[in-house]
Amino acid sequence: MHIEHHPLIHDFPEQRAEMHDLRQADPSFARLAEEYEALDKRICRVEDGVELLADDALTLLKRERVDLKDQVAKRLAPAAAQCCGSCKG
């Protein structure tokens, strides 16, 4: 059975540029994003049957993935809210 990954770029497509810029400029954001991506890949390996893990441990990993995604979203929100200047507001 094919399990779909949850890469950040698919979850935040409208913030692709902001995510790229933050990864380049902010080492802590880059580490956070890398941690999320690695955890997502591990969860997919478990769900694909490549790696064995108890169901309760998998549930904990999924909760951790949600927490990491929430942290990414919070870090992206201020970047997305910055004014581009075109509205003169």
Nearest to residue 11, comparing CAs of 73, 87, 88?
73
Q: Which of the two residues, 85 and 45, has the higher pLDDT score?
A: 45
The pTM for the full model equals: 0.82
Nearest to residue 82, comparing CAs of 10, 18, 7?
18
Asked whether the predicted pLDDT for residue 89 surpasses 50, the reply is: no
Residue 15 near residue 80 (C-beta atoms within 8 A) = yes
**pLDDT for the residue numbered 77:** 87
Residue 8 near residue 19 (C-beta atoms within 8 A) = yes
pLDDT tens by residue, 16-74: 999 999 999 999 999 999 999 999 999 999 999 999 999 999 999 999 999 999 999 99
**pLDDT for the residue numbered 44:** 93
